[in-house]
A and B are shown apart, each in its own frame.
Chain A
Amino acid sequence: AQSVTQPDIHITVSEGASLELRCNYSYGATPYLFWYVQSPGQGLQLLLKYFSGDTLVQGIKGFEAEFKRSQSSFNLRKPSVHWSDAAEYFCAVGGNSGYALNFGKGTSLLVTP
């Protein structure tokens, strides 16, 4: 069965510092992987996705993620965090396109001045 683990419930970084949010997945075949962001009172916005091909994917707002099959990971990174990046971040896996998404529990990002 599919599962997603986000080991960090909360992360605090200083504005301008680099960021890495961890995501590990469990899935028998090649997964479809996603990162979503949720600001307070807002819906879930897609940051980036991996279906196949280049394992380093670029997303919106300066985010990128790297798919590492050997580690079953899909960590999200940003070289320099902005205060507006403070939000909840969710990693998700989908078996095949069109199927439902299986989400991790989320990581809450706090950005300090």
Chain B
Amino acid sequence: EPEVTQTPSHQVTQMGQEVILRCVPISNHLYFYWYRQILGQKVEFLVSFYNNEISEKSEIFDDQFSVERPDGSNFTLKIRSTKLEDSAMYFCASRATREGEQFFGPGTRLTVL
């Protein structure tokens, strides 16, 4: 069964460093999303991406964040200069159509020291 994959599963970085979280959405999907979940808190929407551009973003998704689909398979989230409060589980999701189910990846746990 097709699934969304994410790498790495756990990333540890120093405050101020740049990180890139990688996602491989399901191959025929067109809509892509990033969410995050700070420990003990709810899953929060960051950004959605369609047709090679951001279609929606939340207040969390400030200038420190960017997304890219560098090739036909990967979807990346870059945090330019990490802060302690960026420590969270980051989930990637994709869907085939606007009405379709969002399929989530297993997440990347980001720890900023």
Contact = CB atoms under 8 A, between A and B. Distances in A.
B4 A103 contact: no
B43 A44 contact: yes
A75 interface: no
A53 interface: no
Chain A residues touching B, majority SS: loop
Contact of A101 (B4, B102, B103, B107): B102
A97 B55 CA distance: 13
A98 B91 contact: no
Interface string A28-63: 000000001000011111100101000000000000
Interface string A86-104: 0000101000111111111
Nearest to B57: A100
Given A44-B43, A44-B91, A103-B43, A98 B99 contact: yes
Contacts of A100: 33, 45, 48, 56, 58
A92 B44 CA distance: 10
A78 interface: no
Contacts of A99: 48, 56
Given A90-B43, A100-B48, A44 B104 contact: yes
Contacts of B44: 103
A69 B105 CA distance: 31
B91 A43 contact: yes
Contacts of A104: 42
A51 B98 CA distance: 12
B31 interface: yes
A43 B105 contact: yes
Given A43-B105, A46-B102, A102 B41 contact: no
Interface string B93-110: 101011111111111000
Nearest to B92: A43
Interface of B: 4, 31, 33, 35, 41-45, 48, 50, 56, 58, 91, 93, 95, 97-107
